[in-house]
Structure 1
């Protein structure tokens, strides 16, 4: 268990550009995902007052800072140098520094290496403060037209088909809306996999959020898969949203009934694949039930 944040001497605090108290610690700062106007006044205060700004790509962050005439000291922080930079950050925090971390776009720690830094800072007993703002996950949920009362952010799917579909099967019985990122070039293949694993659920492909060519295409997964198979891969940054299964849920009794009908005409493998597609259950779970039914009938 980590202890409470370290107590700093009163003289360690100072005021930021807006006059608010600006204490030493790590500040996780959300930045725009496209439209540069989507940054908060508080975020600008922190970036202007920080002793050091950690950036995924300093060139990208410099463009943002230049747009708001902020002259901050930048340090790259990413997967390849994180092990080296984290001890340096902790040393600076020990000295009473105010350090901000940003990603190229959106909220840091969401599918980027900032998590390890925040974890180490917390374990060392220093303050971590979130400066909220733009997020592609939340923006996509807002325009997808799918339930938002419960959702699961799943990150990036694996690139290869077999690994991707196995990964998707792990979410097949989830009752919440699913949100994940995908590289634009893989969107057609990803939607084809989603249609096979999740069945006839509703989905949305949200592209270029907050930018000039923002777009959301909606429909069943099968419809979206067919549309992108014909049109090809989209351009830009993509978020895929998949609605939850319908209220017409499949319990084990219904699975067994469907399997009994399918097994009368099909091999176990084919019957399991069919029922899994119909029900939204993971194929491995349906296959296990099919084996159990076969064994019980002998």
Structure 2
């Protein structure tokens, strides 16, 4: 009895392992975060496996039936819209429930946005903290606590909150703290910007009023001693 956690491409559909492809074709059911979104990948690789939506709004309700299916011998895989499930995506509750039910978890290696962003940042990576999306509540308290640490930080951010987050960084980390912003990793409009926090605020507030689009990974360098 096992649940397969299968990472999926974060951009380019070719960023997919042979093993992930095989597993998704062999299992009896694929749990998807968004059926319409995932169909693009599944159709690209001619994967005909049945799917069922699994997300934060229905997980409490459907987890018992998922566990029952696995116990009866059904092979089930979990994917998210992009990247590795449970990394700023649904998955934690199902994984924890499987562990409590003595169901094995097998997580395949594969794409996740923060790893390539961190590697190409040029910042020290022997000690880093992955934050993901900042919490909506106690956001400033979280940043205040982080400002006391001396390590590289990794954040995810949406386009409509990017400028707000950069201004929060200015307040808690200072204008001159080095930062790398990776936009749309592995996608057509992939772009990497390097500089300090002040540079990034000026760049994104002086884009001739163009709308900020895309998905962002922000890497903040450790403090200079």
> Does the TM-score normalized on the shorter chain lie above 0.5?
yes
Deviation for aligned residue 1:87: 0.3
Q: Is the 8 A contact 1:164 1:193 kept in 2?
A: no
Verify: 1:102 aligned to 2:94, yes or no. Answer: no
Q: Which consecutive unaligned segments of at least 5 residues does structure 1 have?
A: 1-23, 249-298
Larger Rg: 1
Verify: 1:34 aligned to 2:11, yes or no. Answer: yes
Q: Distance in 1 between matches of 2:36 and 2:164?
A: 32
Deviation for aligned residue 1:158: 4.0
Aligned residues: 222
Please list the CA deviations of residues 9-48 of structure 1 after superposition, one character each: whole Å capped at 9, or x if unmatched. Answer: xxxxxxxxxxxxxxx4100000000100001000001100
The residue number in structure 1 matching 2:103 is 126
Q: Distance in 2 between matches of 1:211 and 1:65?
A: 18
2:39 counterpart (51, 56, 62): 62
Deviation for aligned residue 1:103: 0.3
The residue number in structure 1 matching 2:23 is 46
The residue number in structure 2 matching 1:252 is none
The residue number in structure 1 matching 2:191 is 215
Deviation for aligned residue 1:212: 1.1
Q: Is the 8 A contact 1:209 1:215 kept in 2?
A: yes
The 3 A distance-change label for structure 1 pair 25 and 172 is same
The residue number in structure 1 matching 2:171 is 196
Root-mean-square deviation (CA, aligned residues, Å) is 1.4
SS of alignment partner, residue 138 of structure 1: helix
Q: Is the 8 A contact 1:159 1:186 kept in 2?
A: no
Verify: 1:242 aligned to 2:217, yes or no. Answer: no
Verify: 1:187 aligned to 2:187, yes or no. Answer: no
Q: Which has the higher contact order (CA 8 A, sep 6+)?
A: 2
Higher share of residues assigned helix: 1
Q: Which consecutive unaligned segments of at least 5 residues does structure 2 have?
A: none
Deviation for aligned residue 1:205: 1.1
The residue number in structure 2 matching 1:270 is none
Q: Is the 8 A contact 1:30 1:108 kept in 2?
A: yes
Normalization by structure 1: what TM-score? 0.72
Q: Distance in 2 between matches of 1:173 and 1:197?
A: 9
2:200 counterpart (209, 218, 224): 224
Q: Distance in 1 between matches of 2:112 and 2:180?
A: 17
